[in-house]
Amino acid sequence: MTLLTTAPADLAPALVPPPATRTLTLGKAVNTALRDAMAADPKVLVMGEDVGRLGGVFRITDGLYEEFGPERVMDTPLAESGIVGTAIGLALRGYRPVVEIQFDGFVFPGYDQIVTQLAKMHARSLGKVRVPVVIRIPYGGGIGAVEHHSESPEALFAHVAGLKVVSPSDAQDAYWMLRQAIEGDDPVIYFEPKRRYYEQGDLDTTRPTRPLHGARVLRQGTDATLLGYGPTVKTCLAAARVAEEEDGRSLEVIDLRSVSPLDFASVAASVRRTRRLVVVHEAPVFFGAGAEIAARVTEHCFHHLEAPVLRVGGYHAPYPPSRLEEDYLPGLDRVLHAVDHVMSF
Amino acid sequence: MESADREKSPGSTREAAAPVQLLTPDGRRVEHPEYSIDVSPEELRGLYRDMVLARRVDAEGVTLQRQGELALWPSLLGQEAAQVGSARAVLDGDHVFPSYRDHGVALCRGVDPLALLAMFRGVSNGGWDPEDHGFHLYTLVIGSQTLHATGYAMGMAKDGAHGAAVVYFGDGATSQGDVSEAFNFAAVYDAPVVFFCQNNQWAISEPTEKQSRVPLYRRADGFGLPGVRVDGNDVLACLAVTRAAMQRARCGQGPTLVEAFTYRMGAHTTSDDPTRYRDSAEVAHWAAKDPIARLRTHLLDTAHADQAFLDEVDHTADQAGQRLRALVRSMPAPDPHAIFDHVYADGHSLVDEERAQFARYEASFAETGGN
């Protein structure tokens, strides 16, 4: 130990045990989290359409069927309400079902069970019933998909008391946020940024990085704050780099990570430093997460603001045919445009 | 009869088998080739007592609503045999998933009816522990609970438990997609669940013909599970058929759909006016099939009970009703801060924030000397 602390910096790595860190894709991190959660707790089940032999259409459940068998990795009938409703029953029986909804736009047949049943059971039983169901939803656009395969419905869930809504942006969070969601006793809607499934990142499975519902400052800055979650975090980081290189602007970037609950304290602290905020999400801005954040910033940081809070996101139109999605999505140029705007005040 | 029925042309899809019956409307005991039952005089008296109590508690609910003590009450009047007969087929280790009219089932499972009345008084949205009596929370969204029961049963099978789930729903619910999905999931996974449909002929104002072209029990055919129609006003038949279905489920033989053919004698709820959509002649027709009257006749005819017994049952039920009336009337409103209780199991910062905000708002009145 003494040797370690006094060793020259360039020698230290050779003396430290190799870190339990590996590099993998975000999708593989989700897969690893499912495998580790199932190994750690026999009550954890995976269920959904094609999650068994196929390993899911995105291969997120790849290998789980072979490892844990059909009793714990359940290929279900093609019926989202049935999947969520029976997951509720299994949770009432003491299981921890992790449900895969194949695509964002397919969740709505199950929306009734999620909103009217899953979200309310703990409250209406006065805390006697717990329904720890995690619903994984690959969401968002940018993959050139057909209709109903590119949507961002997180606000429709965040609006519902009793649900928690989270979305990771990298491999480390993808792993740990899912582990934490499964271990918690509340229903969690876990939105996976499907166009980031193949992004490489480091994963340390030895300890969680931070609480499930805490935001994280990815880059410190002084001129304005960019706030994203899920797929837009990468866009925000890119925008911050470009703004610095081209305009010498110092932008702070926050990964919100959790839409419900919001870590508003972290957002407010950042806004009080930078005095300007741009929220970026793929979901339509109208009544979206950005609207809630803007309202709260106005309430709590009014005297710190140099500019109105701006939102960059989807339009109040159905998600367009994929040839138009780059015009619909909040890409780098639209984010930089908003930065120019927020700095003009 | 069922197989003969199946051979008919598509144009006669409304044809149905005669329901399983063991006790005729005039109180005569009859046999059925598939469903025999051996019930002791004591058990018969017990079933009678259960039904009378259920009717009395139900009447108390209606009265309390009329007096302004409850916001609403969905009456079970006429469905006592369906509920008591099926509920008495439930054993410890089984689990019941009710709808919202199943007060008779709740009573048989040992749930304090005060909890049901509290719900319709607007004091709670449930609040009992399903594990206490294997009786889950009432479900108001039609048919949703059929999937919960199916999932629960799938879990029981995974656990290797020797129990079954039974789920209650109505004729209207059979139109819900969730109910079809539940039939299908249960069949595919061979889940130990019994679907107990009380066809009381009316989904508020819509008759069963508006819900289905085929008799409801025959819905089971397409899902590959057995379906059986039982006289829902015959407590013995309901007991026998449900008992057999539960036993099938417990023994790993999978799900069954039971259609209890009965009648909702009262309004859908205390907010409903059935005179707008059905004839009094129809109500009178079903009144002649009253489930309690037929068992009473049978008990007296067979000398399994005497008038003193009947009087004692009435008196006991009346006492239970009076107790409930007093308790409901003195039931306090919940603490307003309870709005924020139990929204989440592990907590949520927004709920904490709003709870504190509400407390500050409330406290502001105290500080200014208000009340």
* B277 belongs to the catalytic site: yes
- The answer to whether A146 touches A322, Cβ cutoff 8 Å, is yes
When scoring B346, B351, B352, B355 by the number of chain A Cβ atoms within 10 A, the one with the most, hence best to mutate, is: B346
Q: Which residues contact B90 (CB under 8 A, 6 or more apart)?
A: B96, B108, B109, B134, B166, B242, B246
CB contact under 8 A, A260 and B156: no
- The answer to whether A293 touches A309, Cβ cutoff 8 Å, is yes
B294 plus B363 within the same structural domain: no
CB contact under 8 A, A79 and B185: yes
Where are chain A's structural domains?
A: 22-204, 216-343
What average pLDDT is seen over chain A?
94
When scoring A45, A76, A125, A133 by the number of chain B Cβ atoms within 10 A, the one with the most, hence best to mutate, is: A125
When pLDDT is averaged across residues B317-333 and rounded to a whole number, the result is: 97
| Calpha distance B181→B200 (Å, rounded) | 22
Chain A contact set for B192 (CB, 8 A): none
What average pLDDT is seen over chain B?
94
The whole-model pTM stands at 0.94
Task: Report pLDDT for A159.
Answer: 98
> Which tens digit of pLDDT belongs to each residue from B167-221?
999 999 999 999 999 999 999 999 999 999 999 999 999 999 999 999 999 999 9
> Which tens digit of pLDDT belongs to each residue from A257-292?
999 999 999 999 999 999 999 999 999 999 999 999
CB contact under 8 A, A92 and B151: yes
Residue A298 tokens, joined: 């106005």
* B268 belongs to the catalytic site: yes
| Calpha distance A132→A122 (Å, rounded) | 10
| Calpha distance B233→B220 (Å, rounded) | 22
Architecture of domain A22-204: 3-Layer(aba) Sandwich (3.40)
Most distant CA atoms of chain A, gap in Å: 63
How many domains does chain B divide into? 2
When scoring B133, B147, B150, B190 by the number of chain A Cβ atoms within 10 A, the one with the most, hence best to mutate, is: B147
| Calpha distance B116→B71 (Å, rounded) | 12
| Calpha distance B24→B97 (Å, rounded) | 29
Query: What number of H helices and E strands is found in chain B?
Result: 14, 7
B217 plus B359 within the same structural domain: no
| Calpha distance B155→B163 (Å, rounded) | 11
Picking from A92, A128, A262, the nearest residue to B148 by CB comes out as A92
| Calpha distance A311→A288 (Å, rounded) | 9
Chain B contact set for A81 (CB, 8 A): 147, 177-178, 181
Where are the strands (E) in B70-144, listed by range? 95-97
Give the CA count within 13 Å in the CB-facing half-sphere of B138. 21
Closest CA to B75 of B272, B348, B278: B272
B313 plus B175 within the same structural domain: yes
B344 plus B324 within the same structural domain: no
Q: Give B366's pLDDT tier (boundaries 50, 70, 90).
A: confident
Closest CA to A327 of A127, A104, A142, A57: A142
Architecture of domain A216-343: 3-Layer(aba) Sandwich (3.40)
From the candidates A149, A304, A337, A341, give the one annotated as an active-site residue.
A149
B277 plus B355 within the same structural domain: no
> Which tens digit of pLDDT belongs to each residue from B4-41?
333 344 444 567 889 999 999 999 999 999 999 999 99
Q: Which residues contact B282 (CB under 8 A, 6 or more apart)?
A: none
Q: CA nearest B193 in A: which residue?
A: A89
Chain B contact set for A186 (CB, 8 A): 344-346, 348
Picking from B124, B147, B178, the nearest residue to A126 by CB comes out as B124
Task: For residue B8, give the DSSP letter.
Answer: S
B37 plus B88 within the same structural domain: yes
B266 plus B350 within the same structural domain: no
| Calpha distance A341→A226 (Å, rounded) | 13
CB pairs under 8 A between A and B: 146
Task: Report pLDDT for B14.
Answer: 66
Closest CA to B196 of B244, B158, B152: B244
Percent composition of chain B: helix, strand, coil (DSSP 3-state, to 5): 50, 10, 40
Kind of pairing, strands A216-219 and A251-255? antiparallel
Provide the residue range defining the domain that includes B185: 2-329
> Which tens digit of pLDDT belongs to each residue from B65-113?
999 999 999 999 999 999 999 999 999 999 999 999 999 999 999 999 9
Picking from A113, A129, A261, the nearest residue to B147 by CB comes out as A113
B40 plus B88 within the same structural domain: yes
Question: A193: distance to nearest CA of chain B, Å?
Answer: 24
Question: B105: distance to nearest CA of chain A, Å?
Answer: 19
When scoring A92, A114, A131 by the number of chain B Cβ atoms within 10 A, the one with the most, hence best to mutate, is: A92
CB contact under 8 A, A123 and B159: no
Closest CA to B343 of A122, A183, A258, A263: A122
B320 plus B184 within the same structural domain: yes
Question: A263: distance to nearest CA of chain B, Å?
Answer: 8
* Residues in chain B whose Cβ is within 8 Å of chain A: 124-131, 136-137, 139, 141, 144, 146-156, 158-159, 165, 177-178, 181-182, 184-185, 188, 341-346, 348-351
Picking from B137, B147, B156, the nearest residue to A93 by CB comes out as B156
Chain A contact set for B341 (CB, 8 A): 123, 126-127
B204 plus B239 within the same structural domain: yes
> Which tens digit of pLDDT belongs to each residue from A13-31?
445 555 678 999 999 999 9
SS3 A146: coil
Q: How far is CA B180 from the centre of its chain?
A: 19
Facing residues of B193 across strands? B165
Chain B contact set for A86 (CB, 8 A): 147-148, 150-151, 154, 182, 185
CB contact under 8 A, B155 and A262: no
Closest CA to A160 of A212, A107, A196: A107
Which residue type sits at B111?
V
Q: How far is CA B10 from the centre of its chain?
A: 32
**CATH number, residue B173:** 3.40.50.970
What are residue B63's phi and psi, to 5 degrees? -60, -45
| Calpha distance A130→A128 (Å, rounded) | 7
C-alpha dihedral sign at A273, A277, A279, A280: negative
B255 plus B307 within the same structural domain: yes
When pLDDT is averaged across residues B113-134 and rounded to a whole number, the result is: 96
SS3 B30: coil
Ranges of residues in chain A with a pLDDT under 50 are: 1-14
B109 plus B177 within the same structural domain: yes
| Calpha distance B3→B6 (Å, rounded) | 5
Task: Report pLDDT for A16.
Answer: 58
CB contact under 8 A, B154 and A261: no
Q: What is the 3-state secondary structure (H, E, C) of B183-201?
A: HHHHHHHCCCEEEEEEECC
